[in-house]
Amino acid sequence: MDIALFSPSSLFANDDDSSSGEENTETQQSFVERKHQFPGMELIVREFSFHQLNANLLWPGTFAFAEWLVQNRPLIEGRHCIELGSGTGALAIFLRRLCNLDITTSDYNDQEIEENIAYNCRVNGIAPALPHIKHTWSDSFPNRDPDWDLIIASDILLYVKQYPNLIKTLSFLLTSYKPKENESQPRPKDEPTGQSFSLPRPSFLMSWRRRIGKEDESLFFTGCEDAGLEVKHLGSRVYCIKPRETTTNGNQIVNS
């Protein structure tokens, strides 16, 4: 995977940092624990002092996405969810504590990431730890019959060269979706939520707050559309991506 040419910590504005500033540096400075304020709760998050895959810090977009999810809570309640690019696991931990969301974390095939997410689960009162899947984008997915009806991610479009790999994984999860076997009744594709929109099953809900060139950013959305996925901007830089609808004869519907 490409390595960023800048320090992730430099992206945090000093006057707009969601961290309380309290730090507890562990032996040999390998980790730093910070208290982070999420909507309605405080989480203790252990972050790597450095990680070559940028899984070490919470990006600012995580907090903005958390606020959006709280404001649109009916959309996610009762969903079976997986998070791509979980990093520290903070967003998934927040959602489990917020509404007992059935959520699985996932990230690059790296043991340190998995162990750190498990640690963060424990210190925030989640035991056993959330289910976790080690997966490198575009590799064969460990679960060949994915049953997650909601996929979420925050600020995962940093590496432009990884877009084709990310889209390949995303397409698999969306187009190979099978409902959980223990569901007594099939859930409708769209459910009324009292919101001005609803999330289909399955769908990918993504918040993207990082700033890169618009030409680079558009490569991801164009790549999704080329792969047969439909992209909808929900506002506040939150996007819903789902399989493109098909007609009864199997042809894709082309939206005008």
Q: What is the pLDDT along the chain (256 residues), one digit of tens a residue?
A: 333 333 333 333 333 444 444 444 344 438 889 999 999 999 999 998 766 655 567 888 899 999 999 999 999 999 999 999 999 999 999 999 999 999 999 999 889 999 999 999 999 999 999 999 999 999 999 999 999 999 999 999 988 999 999 999 999 999 999 987 765 444 444 444 455 678 999 999 999 987 788 899 999 999 999 999 999 999 989 999 999 986 445 455 444 3
Q: In this structure, how many other beta carbons lie within 10 angstroms of the beta carbon of residue 6? A: 7
pTM, two decimals, is 0.81
**C-alpha distance from residue 125 to each of 83, 98, 111, 121 (Å):** 19, 12, 22, 6
Give domain limits for the chain: 60-182+189-243
**8 Å CB contact between 130 and 96:** yes
Distance from C-alpha of 167 to C-alpha of 16, rounded to nearest angstrom = 32
Question: What sign has the CA pseudo-torsion 115, 58, 25, 22?
Answer: negative
Distance from C-alpha of 133 to C-alpha of 169, rounded to nearest angstrom = 13
Tokens of 141: 């997915």
Tokens of 204: 């990918």
- Within 136-223, strands assigned E span 150-154, 203-207
CATH hierarchy code of domain 60-182+189-243: 3.40.50.150
**C-alpha distance from residue 112 to each of 17, 108, 209 (Å):** 25, 10, 26
Q: What was the pLDDT predicted at 148?
A: 98
Distance from C-alpha of 143 to C-alpha of 110, rounded to nearest angstrom = 17
Distance from C-alpha of 156 to C-alpha of 120, rounded to nearest angstrom = 20
